Amino acid sequence: MKENAENPAGLDRLVHEPARLIILTALSELESADFLFLLRLAGLTKGNLSSHLDKLEAAGLVEVEKRFVGKKTNTLIRITGSGRAAVEEHWRRLDDLRHRSLQGNPRP
Amino acid sequence: MKENAENPAGLDRLVHEPARLIILTALSELESADFLFLLRLAGLTKGNLSSHLDKLEAAGLVEVEKRFVGKKTNTLIRITGSGRAAVEEHWRRLDDLRHRSLQGNPRP
DNA sequence: GCAATATAGTTTGCACTACAAACCGAATTG
DNA sequence: CAATTCGGTTTGTAGTGCAAACTATATTGC
């Protein structure tokens, strides 16, 4: 298992991907949300959202709980501690990239 | 030619890609830089940088000029007007995503 | 002066992945 | 009870980011 094989600027693709960045950022404020909420928020197809959630879950960034609400299935997605840490770290790195991208490099 | 085929949150993958985001962000401050400078800055292999620059050039976000400095070839990369606009817009959208991601969506 | 090494890139092949479309089962509606 | 809706999962594919292999010129060692 590769930890975070030094992407440029340390930006983890798993988090950086637009759809997942939206999902994680929203979850870091909401704590949890259901499938359809995220579907509308991110503007994805269901299939698409499903596979993004698989990846986030596989990486331990979210937990997916399937339960019944009345008689209907309902999928609840919750952000984990390391999920929250990952988004926050990601935004920090983006800030660094934006504002300190040239530090330590000689001007050409 | 597709303008910007509605990615989630309007984030253009061409700009969003970490290596290219670094390159464009740096160029938007420096105006121009040479190949090797960008190579070190982004921490890419030469091959990799070359193909990223191809894509940015094809999209009209940068201009690539090959010239001689003394007897050695030297490749100068310059950001274009629309390149600058694209990065700035991209950072704006990231800000929106980060701070207003939940606007207009009902809480679950 | 010519072999070896360095510099400055480009081309190529592959492994991954984001996406839409197809699919599926259960519940609800007409 | 047939059709539709809801809530998802699986599948096939096109695209792309990457490293490695390659090329061409310049420099250095002997």
The reported pTM is: 0.89
Of A9, A25, A34, the CB nearest to B97: A25
Residue nearest to nucleotide D8 (CA to C1'): A46
* CB spacing of B29 vs A102 below 8 angstroms: yes
Q: Which domains does chain A have, with CATH numbers?
A: 12-97 (1.10.10.10)
Question: At CB < 8 A and 24+ separation, what contacts does A100-107 make?
Answer: A101/B22, A101/B25, A101/B26, A101/B29, A101/B41, A102/B26, A102/B29, A102/B30, A102/B41, A105/B37, A105/B40, A105/B41, A106/B37, A107/B30
Per-residue pLDDT of B69-107, as tens digits, reads 777 788 999 999 999 999 999 999 999 999 976 655 544
pLDDT of residue B49: 95
Residues of A in contact with B4 (CB under 8 A): none
Per-residue pLDDT of B31-76, as tens digits, reads 899 999 999 999 999 999 999 999 999 999 999 998 877 777 889 9
pLDDT of residue B101: 65
pLDDT of residue B13: 95
Per-residue pLDDT of A48-89, as tens digits, reads 999 999 999 999 999 999 888 777 888 999 999 999 999 999
CA–CA dist B93, A57 (Å, integer): 26
Give one word for B39, left, alpha or beta, with left for phi > 0 and alpha for psi -120 to 50: alpha
Is residue B15 scored above 90 in pLDDT? Answer: yes
Q: Which amino acid is at A86?
A: A
* CB spacing of B105 vs A42 below 8 angstroms: no
